[in-house]
Amino acid sequence: MTTKLTGNAIKLIDGKNFASLATLLPDGSPHVAPVWVDREGDTILVNTAIGRVKQKNAERDRRVALSITDQNNPYEKIIIRGRVVTQTTEAADQHIDKLAKKYTGASKYKKLNPKEQRVILKIEPLKIS
């Protein structure tokens, strides 16, 4: 059952705060990666590239968790458990540019590999603590 984002969750997601995204490797062990986050209403958005570990893990097992800590107060944090409801390449390049502006001030994201294809992981929150 989908959970609505709390006011504190919205504040942390909308702020310039990094998140740690946990996905599950094929053997069931966790993989954690720092990510930029965004949201569309109560859906959390994470942008990555097709073929990266987090993308492949989320494709195989949609269960994920995010930990977001306020950059100015490490005691203010949220943990969100959820599932990836969709992965889409539609507007993913524009979305990573938006995140680059939010996090670095750059108007365009500088791809490490010009051939990479960006993808947005859309995450439905199930539990927030």
CATH number at residue 66: 2.30.110.10
| pLDDT at position 2 | 79
26 occurs within a structural domain: yes
| φ, ψ at 57 (rounded to 5°) | -60, -45
10-residue mean pLDDT series, the chain (129 residues): 92 98 98 98 98 98 98 96 98 97 94 90 97
Q: How many other CB atoms sit within 10 Å of the CB of residue 94?
A: 11
Beta bridge partners of 74: none
- The pTM of this model reads 0.95
Q: Are strands 118-128 and 43-49 parallel, antiparallel or unpaired?
A: antiparallel
| pLDDT at position 81 | 98
| pLDDT at position 111 | 80
Q: What is the domain extent for residue 39? A: 7-128
1 occurs within a structural domain: no
Tell me the CA end-to-end span of the chain in Å, nearest whole number. 15
Task: At 38, list the tokens.
Answer: 């965004």
73 occurs within a structural domain: yes
108 occurs within a structural domain: yes
Amino acid of residue 60: R
123 occurs within a structural domain: yes
Domain count, the chain: 1
